[in-house]
Structure 1
């Protein structure tokens, strides 16, 4: 955006006629002003953890964006942060403990790590001044959203979840274990995570997540949050990509059946990251649901 605005500035006839010193000064002022408009991340202590978060927009409807496994504000929600209507929404995106810039501490995955994240996310919203808000949660962030909505029904207005499951089946666990070693990943998939975390932290944390999910499968009989679904009271939109190879095919219909006030929206060509590939449709449908309760 800065490069675009500077390009427009340079090519205008008025600017071309300026002395070079004046022209350079104007370009610098424009650059500083453009940079000042860019959203800034902040850190705030929540339950003893310095949480990194971003707040953009001035709308009357606050929405918390919850990323997936090893996800962060910019890796998981850039098209939403930069393109959803900031007059309708105030968007808050966060890095969960051990993810993104919310480090230290290093990330751990005990049996209750989804509930732990939900508690910290809820406190984050309270600390920064929101008692009532909506949720958009992707993948593991969708599971965290379910915990939040079930445990704090008075605080959650609406919820959008995508790429989300409430239980594990053996086929899913087999997929996780097959990619536990990041050497099996393509360079295209591995590179951005290594850029974010460094190879050592990414390698060990991803392996720990796989082991954590395996522990849930073995010790909880695969139940992540099935018992919480009937406790979700807020209107819920379940989004699913028909070509999502990370999730068992029955998950979206199971969620719709067991969350009372829910709607299901399918992206026929969508995969697990449908909100990134098809962000315009995702943003449009999410906005209509969050504002008007319709799809």
Structure 2
């Protein structure tokens, strides 16, 4: 069991279209199912954001989890965060190269918040490599309410004190403000120039692998219109044996992987170890 819980950091150099990046990655477990974990905004692999769920799931001996920093976060600086148009797809391609560099050609992806959006992009870009997708708390098609909510959090007082302190300690007040300002401008640009699409319907329908969507009914940061948009536009196909499942965890908040990790892990483990065939139960509440 000790070997199954192996947890370590390593350095890595990536060449993405001729541009060199230096970062670290974390590997947890030695199970046969390899899962790329993608964190949210201000994500940092050293922070062990997913510790609650990796601790729970790795004991089953089925999984190997891999995390790394996206450009502009954690150890992967420079460069500073770049929110110019196309940033989501750039992050997806960065992680595709990351997995190629590790010589891993088949893997699943799990993403939270911004990482969930990136996970869907990866599955759309390389459906021949991705086996399964788990996404929770992700923005996918923003509206004016999302714009206003993001602007609200420009005020540090809008954050829970323990969260804002953690983020300040992690990246500093100046860089926090710079990243958030860039994010707000990117949201406005996408809303005004791309009809709010973080991922288009055409991109969603290129996903040819099973997808598990998890939503916390008390999420005050990401509305359910995001997860419903994805659920309604994935392309179910009996031909490809593709299934999708939307699970709503009652009273769970945005960080459900911490506050409701037992339910969360049960759903995720079932998804990775079972083949859902009852298409009449594509949405459930627990």
Determine the structure 2 residue equivalent to 1:250: 225
- Unaligned 5+ residue runs, structure 1? 1-33
**CA contact 1:70–1:206 (8 Å) conserved in 2:** no
Determine the structure 1 residue equivalent to 2:25: 53
Largest Rg, 1 or 2: 1
More helix by share: 1
**CA contact 2:216–2:252 (8 Å) conserved in 1:** yes
Which of residues 6, 20, 38 is equivalent to 1:66? 38
CA RMSD of aligned residues (A): 1.8
State the alpha-carbon separation in 2 of the partners of residues 91 and 115 from structure 1.
22
Determine the structure 2 residue equivalent to 1:40: 8
State the alpha-carbon separation in 2 of the partners of residues 203 and 165 from structure 1.
21
Determine the structure 2 residue equivalent to 1:30: none
Q: 1:1-295 to 2 correspondence within 5 Å?
A: 39-46=7-14, 47=16, 48-73=20-45, 74-85=47-58, 87-227=61-201, 228-259=203-234, 260=236, 261-294=243-276
**CA contact 1:135–1:158 (8 Å) conserved in 2:** yes
CA shift in 2, pair 1:293/1:160, >3 Å: farther
Number of corresponding residues: 260
TM-score, normalised to structure 2, is: 0.86
TM-score, normalised to structure 1, is: 0.83
CA shift in 2, pair 1:100/1:268, >3 Å: same
State the alpha-carbon separation in 2 of the partners of residues 61 and 185 from structure 1.
36
